[in-house]
Amino acid sequence: MTFGIRNIVGIHRLHAGERDYSTPLIFKTYLQWSYWKQKAFDYLIWCHLAHALDFSVALLCWLWIFPITFTEANEWHIKWVSRVFLYNIACEFIFYSFWHWMTYGRTSPYPKGPLHGKKYNSINQYEEESQHHLLREVTFTTLGWLQSAFVQCIFMWLWASGRLPYYSDFWSRPYFSMFILLSVTFWREFHFYWVHRFMHPWRSVQNGLYQGDIGAFLYRHFHSLHHQSRNPGPWSGLSMHPIEHFVYYTCAYFPLLFSCHPLHFLYAKFHADIAPIGGHDGYADPAGGADFHYLHHAFFECNYGVPLIDFDRLFGTYKQFVKKSSMNDQQTNKLL
């Protein structure tokens, strides 16, 4: 889950000693709703609002970067390519660095205050001696952003040179455009589960290609790098082998299958870039609150997906986190 205004405000409230630090900023009567009304809200509204930051970055890219680069993108040139790369790298270091400062920064007051009690693993992995977790995570996360920026350049070139069909007026196809845009949230979670599960052992981590266990082979040679972040932080989410980055970012390749608006691609791409921040920060509400995925890093063979599309319950790999916080904290974790 991407961090948002609710998380920032919640952390500040917690640090200030407020008891109602998890009170939603909007939809304040959520906890009084029936179970099915809550579920309808989660699947129709909240799952999209939770990624407002990802969408905002994609929209800004479409409104700002595309107009000054797209007319030149029919041919490869360092000028327009560098603008795309600079925009992506700026987004990486602004958002990842900010959330790392909020949750682990040495000059930040929050990690040393009440927020520390919300950490799933009380050990600060970035303060362990003779460890270089942060350097490894920043390095491979940056390689991921560079790869996704290159993918963006490829699609811009394909569109601008007429090699791939697209349409530039979003509202010329209003129903189709909104359907694809809203579907990105669900497509991303569906895609993440299956490519992630594919890179874990299908039977045993000791197996290999000779045993027909492609997942075990992929895990040992590629995905195991991501699992070096057993106690994850904000930079852990995209800390992957470049081969895994390539597989991960195929979630944004759907314009190869049908004509769509560039904003659809941008939203899927920046969703993949930014969403891992809160999902890996290692804290309960009011921070990321991604206990589901934290357990995957801690115990390995469970919780391969996300609760929105809960394949783990279906296939028997679901593990539940027993929180110290109250049920109210757990429930309000999903509100703005």
Tokens of 261: 């608006």
Which residue do the tokens 């039977």 mark? 203
**Straight-line distance from the first to the last Cα atom of the chain, in angstroms, rounded to the nearest whole number:** 12
CA–CA distance, 143 with 139 (Å, rounded to integer): 6
Counting other chains too, the contacts that 181-186 makes at CB distance below 8 Å and 24 or more residues apart are 181/263, 181/264, 181/267, 182/48, 184/264, 184/267, 184/268, 184/271, 185/47, 185/48, 185/51, 185/271, 185/308, 186/47, 186/308, 186/309
Tokens of 202: 């299908």
| pLDDT, tens digit, 9 for 90 and up, residues 227-248 | 999 999 999 999 999 999 999 9
Pick from 334, 311, 92: which is nearest to 196 by CA?
311
* Prediction pTM value: 0.92
- Going by the DSSP 8-state scheme, the letter that residue 107 receives in this structure is T
Q: How many CA atoms lie within 13 A of 218 on its CB side?
A: 20
Residue 335 lies in a domain: no
| pLDDT, tens digit, 9 for 90 and up, residues 122-136 | 999 998 765 688 999
Reduced to 3 states, what is the DSSP secondary structure of residue 306?
strand
Q: What is the pLDDT of residue 215?
A: 95
Counting other chains too, the contacts that 123-132 makes at CB distance below 8 Å and 24 or more residues apart are 123/231, 125/229, 125/231, 125/233, 126/233
Residue 332 lies in a domain: no
| pLDDT, tens digit, 9 for 90 and up, residues 190-225 | 999 999 999 999 988 888 888 899 999 999 999 999
Pick from 318, 308, 328, 321: which is nearest to 50 by CA?
308
Residue 330 lies in a domain: no
Which residue do the tokens 């196809």 mark? 173
CA–CA distance, 5 with 11 (Å, rounded to integer): 10
Helices and strands, counts by H and E, the chain? 15, 0
Which residue do the tokens 């593990």 mark? 319
Number of domains making up the chain: 1
CB atoms near residue 78 (< 10 Å): 8
The string of DSSP codes covering 274-289 is HTHHHHTS-B-TTS--
- Going by the DSSP 8-state scheme, the letter that residue 119 receives in this structure is B
| pLDDT, tens digit, 9 for 90 and up, residues 22-52 | 877 788 888 788 989 989 999 999 999 999 9
Spatial CB neighbours of 36, under 8 Å, sequence gap ≥ 6: none
Confidence of residue 334 (pLDDT cuts 50, 70, 90): very low
CA–CA distance, 244 with 95 (Å, rounded to integer): 22
Q: Are 272 and 148 in contact (CB under 8 A)?
A: yes
* Average pLDDT taken over every residue of the chain: 92
Residue 70 lies in a domain: yes
CA–CA distance, 118 with 109 (Å, rounded to integer): 15
Confidence of residue 1 (pLDDT cuts 50, 70, 90): low
Residue 25 lies in a domain: yes
Residue span of the structural domain in which 121 resides: 5-325
CA–CA distance, 190 with 174 (Å, rounded to integer): 24
| pLDDT, tens digit, 9 for 90 and up, residues 85-103 | 999 999 999 999 999 999 9
Residue 334 lies in a domain: no
Reduced to 3 states, what is the DSSP secondary structure of residue 228?
helix
Residue 331 lies in a domain: no
Residue 234 lies in a domain: yes
